[in-house]
Each structure stands twice: as C-alpha cells, then as structure tokens.
Amino acid sequence: MPVNAADTAWLLISSALVMLMTPGVALFYGGMVRRKNILSTIMMSFAILALVGLLWVLYGYSLSFGADNGGLIGGLDYIFLRGVGQEPSPVYATTVPHLAFMIFQAMFAIITVALITGAVVERMKFSSLLVFSVLWLTFVYCPVAHWVWGNGGWLAKLGALDFAGGTVVHINAGISALALAWLLGPRKGFREKQPMEPSNIPMVAFGAGLLWFGWFGFNAGSALTAGGLASSAFVATNTSAAAAAFTWMVLSWIYRRPTVLGIATGVVAGLVAITPAAGFVSPMMGIPIGVGAAVVCYYCMLLRMRRGIDESLDVWAVHGMGGTWGALATGIFASVAVNSAGADGLLLGNAMQVLKQLAGIAVVWIFAFGATWVLCKLVDVTMGLRVTTIEETVGLDISQHGERAYGGMLR
C-alpha cells in the first residue's frame, strides 16, 4: 500500500503527544511525594524515557512486533530496526511508514514502564530500578504487547479487544506495581502513619493536564489512520475523562471537600478506563465508562489504604483496576457499528465478548504479577531493591542524585 500523508501526519503527531505523557507522569508523581524525593521521582520517568527509548529501537520493537513465534513472542528480524524503513509494514498500520508505527509503539513501551515507578517512590535504589526496567521491558512488556497487538499474538486470536492498551499498558503496569511494592515493603514511617504530605499539588495538576492532552495521541492515535475512527476515539476519550473527573470531585465533596488532588486523579482514572474501549464503543459510552472508573478506582484506593499496603501512588488502584474496569466495559459496550474490526458487546446481545475480555484480563493479571515477582526477586538478591535507612531518611534527591529540588538560601 502507498503511504497516506494524512495518516502519517496524524501518527507522527500522536507519537509526539504520547511522548509528552511521560514527563506528565514525572510531574504527576513528583508533586505527590515529599519534598526530599521530588527529583528522584521525576528522574525515574526521565531515565526510562532515555533507557526504553534506546532498548526499543535495539530489540524491543522486534520482540513485540517481529515475526510471530507460536503466538508468544516476536522474532529478531527487526533487531536494530533492520527492515523497518520508510515503506509501510505489510501487516501493521499499512498506510504509514513502518518507522512511524515503530516510534508510536516506542512511546507506549516508555510510558508503561514509567507508570510502574509510582509504586516504588521514596525508597527504591535508582540503579536497581534501571536494571528492573530493562528486565521488565524484555520479559513482561514485549511478550504481552506481542500477545495482544502482534500479528499472530495468541490473545488477539482469542478475540479479546484492546484498542489502545488497557491490558498491555494499564493492567500490566498496575499489577506489576502491586507485586513490586509488595516485595519492596513500605516507606519508613508508613506503618506509623506519618503524614506523607504531597509537596506540590499544582505540579500534580499540571502533570494531569499533560496526561489528558497526550492521551488524545494515545487513544485517537491508536486508530492508526486520520479519519472517523480517530475522531470517535478522541470524543470517547474526552468524555470519559470529564465524567470520571467530575465523579471523583463529587465523591471527594461528599466525603468532605472537593480537592485538586482528587479531580486530577479522576481525570487519569477516566482516561485509563476508556483506553481499551475508545475505538470500539460509541463516544457517548464514555459517560458510563468514566463514571464507573471513578467509583471503581476511588474505592480500590480506599481498600488499598485500609489494608496498609504502601503501593505509594496507587498504580494498582488507578491503572490496574481502572484498566480492568475498562477492559470489562469494552466487552459490555462495544459495537461493530463503530469499528468493523471490533465486536458487539453484552448490550448488543453478545455475552461471549465479556468472557473473552475476562480471559484477557485474567491472563495479564496472572502473568504480570508472577513474572514481576520473579524479576523483582532476582534484582533483590543480586543488588538489593532498597536504599539504606539513612539514605531514605535524608531523601533520595540527595542520596541518589546529589541535588535538591529547591536550593539556595539567598534569593
């Protein structure tokens, strides 16, 4: 197929939009930690932008999208971008240069690894995080991306729908975060209920704004063409974000006061939940999906806190459970009238689709938790996961990076 200029322009812009989400995560997470750990939290996302940006062109893309091996993993044919050029791929996004599809996918891999860092802030050793990131990308992200999106991937063949990454990105990151936080243990003072006060909520709001903006590339870009489907996914995305943000604000208000931290969290929950559904449901379905996302994530977060688990920035509650709800909701609200490549959902009389979605959810839950546990143990016994107690007390900004966010006595 010849290269389509409009599709190419849209996919390149979308790639840039998704790239901006990772600095968005840096600010979103950075503002929620204590003052002494802001930089270390931001650094995690930026280091992953650099690290995964390299690994992806070296071998990550090939493992995910290379020639299929039994539905489980891609081959090494695209290693070092061999054969990935200006001509379209014969099977992926056939109207744009193969390079454009490759870099679009790179941004997804980067943000997925960055999302996990919310679980480990304020206590994980930086060098261990880097090693863990390499292992996790290679042994968890690449296989799951191949299963769901790769040509011949076994979950795709099963018929589980995932438009823009509800399972590959959000469930995968959320469940892995839970396993990682579990092995890492809580922050010093967490069990004693010391206040872990967010140091910069305006920064959280700015990060959430960048995420909302970038998510249009994430979801509408996943149409891989510039046209009706991209527009439909765009509107569904905005509608779900708005519905979830508003719902979270109301829940917070019922509890006591409507908070900025709450509405910013609601935005992200709504965006997560619409991700697998965006191009398979009619845009108005963004409302029930968004409202459901806020309710599910809000109560999962409360549950997590009551259980005393220090999964610090709630990657499990927002991405794991928001993604689970979204994947399930795709099976409920999907319609072939929106996307002929999709399927009808429960509301249109196809209960089977819900079962297929549940199968996809279960597989990623189990694999992500188990594989992350093993990789994490490996890093723990070889180099240790945590900083020392004194390094943690001083703060990771100084102990891991030798700088501080707000320096200088003199104005």
Partner 1 sequence: MKKIEAIIREEKLDAVRAALRDSGYLGMTVSEVSGHGRQGGLTLQWRVGEYKVDFLPKLKVELVVLDEDVPKTLNAITSAARTGEMGDGKIFVLPVEDAVRVRTGEGGENAI
Which residues would be at the binding site for partner 1 (CB under 8 A)?
A: 193, 195-198, 251-252, 255-257, 259, 261-262, 265, 298, 301-302, 305, 314
For 170-232, give the DSSP string.
IIHHHHHHHHHHHHH-PPTTTTTT-----S-HHHHHHHHHHHHHHHHHHHHGGG-SSSHHHHH
Least gap, CB of 87 to partner 1 (angstroms): 47
Pick the closer one to partner 1 by CB: 43 or 208.
208
Distances in whole angstroms, Cα of residue 171 to Cα of each of 239, 251, 318: 21, 24, 9
Give the nearest distance from C-beta 36 to partner 1 in angstroms.
16
Please state the closest distance from residue 278 (CB atom) to partner 1, in A. 24
Q: What is the DSSP letter of 79?
A: G
Instruction: Count how many residues are written for the chain.
Output: 411
Question: Cβ of residue 223: shortest distance to partner 1, in angstroms?
Answer: 32
- Which pairs count as long-range contacts for 150-153, CB under 8 Å and 24+ apart, including other chains? 150/64, 150/65, 150/68, 150/74, 151/65, 151/68, 151/91, 151/92, 152/68, 152/71, 153/68, 153/71
Nearer to partner 1 (CB atom), residue 80 or residue 299: 299
Q: Between 61 and 248, whose beta carbon lies closer to partner 1?
A: 248
If the CB atoms of residues 80 and 255 are measured against partner 1, the closer one turns out to be: 255
Q: Which is nearer to partner 1, 295 or 354 (CB)?
A: 295
Token pair 């519905």 is found at 243
Nearer to partner 1, 141 or 298 (CB): 298
Q: Are strands 73-74 and 68-69 parallel, antiparallel or unpaired?
A: antiparallel
* Integer Cα distance of 163 and 384 in angstroms: 37
Distance CA 251, CA 253 (A): 5
Torsion of Cα atoms, 48 then 185 then 403 then 383, to 10°: -70
Distance between CA 372 and CA 359 in Å, rounded? 20
| Residue 179 to residues 53, 148, 183, 315, Cα–Cα distance (Å) | 25, 22, 6, 11
Token reading at 314: 């709630």
Pick the closer one to partner 1 by CB: 225 or 259.
259
Query: Across the strands, what pairs with 73?
Result: 69
Could you tell me the smallest distance in angstroms from the CB atom of residue 357 to partner 1? 27
Shortest Cβ distance from residue 197 to partner 1 (Å)? Answer: 7
Question: Between 31 and 217, whose beta carbon lies closer to partner 1?
Answer: 31
Smallest distance, partner 1 to C-beta of residue 298, A: 6
Q: State the alpha helices, DSSP H only, in 31-117.
A: 38-55, 61-65, 98-116
Cα 383 to Cα 345: distance, rounded to the nearest angstrom = 47
336 DSSP 8-state letter: T
Q: Please, what is the minimum distance in Å from the beta carbon of residue 46 to partner 1?
A: 24
Nearer to partner 1, 16 or 261 (CB): 261
Least distance CB 218 / partner 1 (angstroms): 22
Min dist. Cβ of residue 290 to partner 1 (A): 17
Work out how close the CB of 186 gets to partner 1 at its nearest, in angstroms, rounded to a whole number: 15
What DSSP state is assigned to residue 74? E
